[in-house]
Amino acid sequence: MDRRSKTPPPIPWADPNGARTQDWEDTPGQKQKPPLATPTIAELIDLSASKNTVDIRSRRAMLDAISIAADKRTEGVTGHRRRRHYGHAAMLAVCCFELGSIYSTPPTIAKWFTNLRQRYSRYPAFRKHLDEILAQIAS
């Protein structure tokens, strides 16, 4: 059988008859999209309900690796003034802070995050991204 003659897999937003259902923006009289709850990274990890348990030493090692990666990414994007990537570096740092505050000793990760903010205090665009992401998590 030729590849072109195969029936494509069903599209999740199409009805069983093959017609596309109406998107939210296409609905007359609607001015905004419905609000969707976005879980945090830590909530997603908790929701995953993994059957594998990680011992404390491994968890600490993973958190150390994540914090080193966040440091290196931040150093890289700020060192080369890659402003388009400040948001990604800020997201990594905030995720590390959030995971560390749940799975590690909060004073240790808070000190790391405070030091990160102080080291990059000369980069207002980066700090703006940090503040925006922290505000999203807090709400």
Residue 76 included in any domain: yes
Residue 109 included in any domain: yes
The pLDDT confidence band at residue 109, using thresholds 50, 70 and 90, is confident
What global pTM score does this model have? 0.58
Cβ neighbours around 51 below 10 Å, total: 5
How confident is the model at residue 61, as a pLDDT? 86
How confident is the model at residue 54, as a pLDDT? 73
Residue 128 included in any domain: yes
Residue 89 included in any domain: yes
Residue 39 included in any domain: no
Burial of 24 (C-beta count, 10 Å sphere; 0-12/13-18/19+): exposed
Q: Residue 112 belongs to what domain range?
A: 55-138
Number of domains in the chain: 1
Distance CA 45, CA 122 (A): 33
Residue 12 included in any domain: no
Residue 45 included in any domain: no
Indicate the range of 17-21, 33-37, 38-42 predicted with least confidence: 17-21
Distance CA 79, CA 117 (A): 15
Per the prediction, the chain carries an average pLDDT of: 77
| Choice between 84 and 19, residue whose per-residue pLDDT is larger | 84
Residue 23 included in any domain: no
